[in-house]
Chain A
Amino acid sequence: MNYELSGQTVARDASFANEVIEATGVRVDRCYQCMTCTLGCPVADVMDYPPNQVMRLIDLGAKETLLRSRTIWMCVTCETCFARCPNQIDTAAVMDYLREEATAQGVEVPEARIQLLHRVFAENIKSFGKVHEATMLMAYKLKSKDFFSDMGIGLKLFLKGKIPLFPSKVKGMQEIKRIFEKTYDKTFGGRS
């Protein structure tokens, strides 16, 4: 079967749905397009493809379209979609998979700041074992070159003693290092 996407005729490819089911255990093939997920999604209006369309694109095999979508980065895993799905499809878990694939493949993503924030956060844990807000936010600001947004809020929190200057580090840092080496570093190859 052929379908139209962004003005182009593309052949349906069922292998992608199988890949998603294999990787996540989520039975995306149960979706019957009732749109309950999209109705409850708090960020559907800022997605390029709302959650029900993500299910349809998986069915069609449009992997590339999804890996380059804004949708997968706007999803905050609130799991409202899964809570309400009559077919128990954990759409949010599928979003996790698509984000991981996009990051591992080095796809240029339209919401680079969100991806960067996740990476900076994870790498902050790699450095200290815990999150140290000051260095994490500093790294995010430097890498995103977004120096000025929320400076007022940041300053208020700092003055209220809610952003400690010094990080507290886990003693078993070699264990944290081992976890990262066997997971994150292996997939992303230390690429930053």
Chain B
Amino acid sequence: MDDTLARLRQQIREIEGGPVQQVRAAPSGLPGLDGLTGGLPCPGLVEVDGPVGGGRTRLVLGWAAQATQRGARVAWVDPAGSLYPPTAAALGVALERLLLVRPVEERLAWTADQLARSGCFGLVVLAALPDLRGVVARWREAVRQGRTTLVVLSDRPARLASVDLRLQVREGVAVVQRRRAGPVGRALALPPWPEGLDPLEGGGRSPWAVRAPGSGRGRSGAV
């Protein structure tokens, strides 16, 4: 029975154009997801979409933190230049291992391909959706060659062909939309913010509970 399932899965992969190889999984830092899929597929293509402010960037920053803490490098392709590194650092990303790349719109897909193919990164994040015509097959080959995970992060579903994992993140909850094998539709709560960083709950070090330090050259504090 297991052999039959394995053969069928292999045939499906071949039909989808995906590589027939052993796919490792890297810890995602999302216990629910790791329990469901074993972690982030590597090599693999992952799609994360959802409205801005819904938690999708925080989720992927968590993956970046896991990767950099393992000693891997992470590339973050951010044409808008909107990623805020102080928050990335507060979420555990080792900034000295995070390469920020700001290509022009026309070079987005090529940049992701080059980064993934290089073999220099444990995780490549593309924080924008390029023109996808003809690029997905190249990306699949690139992640296989570079033994990495390429995450496409956007506000609308890219619906990449033969994606290994697709998550939709909204209001702090990730829903599995697609994965290579196994059920979909499972909802997973994002991990909590580190202490004191929760935007709505705050915590012991909430800015609304502390006095501003020093002489008032710059100040922050409660009214």
Partners in one complex: no
